[in-house]
Amino acid sequence: MAQTVCLIPGDGIGPEVAQSTRDIIEASGVNIDWIELPAGAGVVDEYGDIMPQSTLDAIRENKIALKGPITTPIGKGFKSANVRLRKALDLYAAVRPVRSMPGIKTRYEDVDLVIIRENTEGLYSGIENEITDGVVASMKVATRKASERIARFAFNYARSRQRDKVTVFHKANIMKMSDGLFIDCASRMHEEIFPELPYQELIIDNGCMQMVTDPNQFDTLLLENLYGDVLSDLCAGLVGGLGVVPGANIGDECAVFEAVHGSAPDIAGQDKANPLALIMSGVMMLNHLGETESAKKIKVAYDSVLEARNPEEITADIGGQGGTKAFTEAVIRQM
Ligand code: ATP
């Protein structure tokens, strides 16, 4: 039976990497009914919104989406479409595996981390006020409910995948109440339900220093929203950059799979984008749907294209001279 999947190409490099991912998933033989949905800068004139309500409704109904990046305007304009999507569908956990890739030489080998990011609150609450001329306050929101559920999710994730350790990065020495609540929920959850899992708390500045000097000491990272955003890009830098880090946004009802990277307007429309991060997000989606054979087939194919390191078949961000299309065709040929 066909699986129904919503596809949001997004903007910037989104349409290119989404087309690549769709072509590869189709070539793997899995039976998917795609519902293509509008979102992003290019749909505002027609729909009056960067994230149309009809798009949110369709994902809510069909439960699964694969999403390309959508530009978040800086300083003014629409609120982030990505943040709205995560909040509207209560996709409270971002799961971002960060792994060393075959054929991509970086400072460290065998990096194998998973970032679990709280996706619904923190400084992303968007509650900002100008108190008086030249004085602005931004509110960091932490609730026990959201902090407990993301902690439970992270420990369950680590336990079910036999991972070694859960580390929380925080700044509870300064944000004693908000980050204090976040680590209090994590440590209680650990003590009461997951005592067998090694657990560690690290102040984030020290954590970042340790991450770039010895990433292999870490395994599963539990982070509030903003720290999770920043650490995702930092960790991407350890394994070859934003072109190779996939992600999933998971809620109790729906799941939306998307790469960690943004819309990369500097290279949009030029056949330069590395589609691998979205392809890997597609593999996570296939595993989530139980389509493990197709997922495996795609992974084996892109691993061997990376290992072969034919410069014509890999993109510039990972040391090649090929384009989005050449990489896509190479993966399909390999399958
Ligand atoms: P956002 O705030 O939307 O997450 P960002 O500010 O993190 O976006 P990106 O759009 O992710 O920025 O781009 C950061 C840099 O990484 C840019 O130079 C961009 O070209 C590069 N980059 C991002 N994604 C890719 C990709 N898939 N392939 C090649 N280069 C990429």
Residues 260-317: pLDDT tens digits? 999 999 999 999 999 999 999 999 999 999 999 999 999 999 999 999 999 999 999 9
Q: How far apart are CA 30 and CA 48, in angstroms?
A: 35
* Judgement on whether residues 79 and 11 belong to the same structural domain of the protein: yes
Residues 120-164: pLDDT tens digits? 999 988 889 999 999 999 999 999 999 999 999 999 999 999 998
- Ligand 1 atom closest to the CA of 267, numbered from 1: 20
* Judgement on whether residues 100 and 150 belong to the same structural domain of the protein: no
* Judgement on whether residues 199 and 260 belong to the same structural domain of the protein: no
Q: How far apart are CA 145 and CA 56, in angstroms?
A: 24
- The structure's pTM equals 0.95
Q: How far apart are CA 316 and CA 301, in angstroms?
A: 19
Q: Of 213, 239, 265, which residue is a domain's last?
A: 239
The finding on whether 236 has its CB within 6 A of some atom of ligand 1 is no
Amino acid 291: pLDDT:
96
CATH of the domain at 278: 3.40.718.10
Mutate to test the pocket of ligand 1, among 242, 244, 327 (most ligand atoms within 8 A of CB): 242
The distance from CA 127 to its chain's CA centroid, rounded to whole angstroms, is 24
Taking the centre of ligand 1 as the mean of its atom positions, its distance from the CA of residue 197, in whole angstroms, is 35
* Judgement on whether residues 147 and 201 belong to the same structural domain of the protein: yes
* Judgement on whether residues 9 and 115 belong to the same structural domain of the protein: no
The answer to whether the CB of 285 falls within 8 A of the CB of 121 is no
* Judgement on whether residues 94 and 115 belong to the same structural domain of the protein: no
* Judgement on whether residues 85 and 121 belong to the same structural domain of the protein: no
* Judgement on whether residues 42 and 186 belong to the same structural domain of the protein: no
Domain total for the chain? 2
Exposure string over 63-86, b if 16+ CB within 10 A, otherwise e: bbbbbbbbbeeeeeeeebbbbbbb
* Judgement on whether residues 253 and 136 belong to the same structural domain of the protein: no
Q: How big is the chain by its Cα radius of gyration, in Å?
A: 20
User: CA-CA distances (angstroms) from residue 122 to 37, 58, 104, 169, 175?
Assistant: 29, 27, 34, 14, 11
* Whether the predicted pLDDT of 185 surpasses 70: yes
* Whether the predicted pLDDT of 75 surpasses 80: no
What average pLDDT does the segment 52-62 reach?
Answer: 96
* Judgement on whether residues 232 and 289 belong to the same structural domain of the protein: no
* Judgement on whether residues 118 and 210 belong to the same structural domain of the protein: yes
Domain that holds residue 296: 1-106+240-335
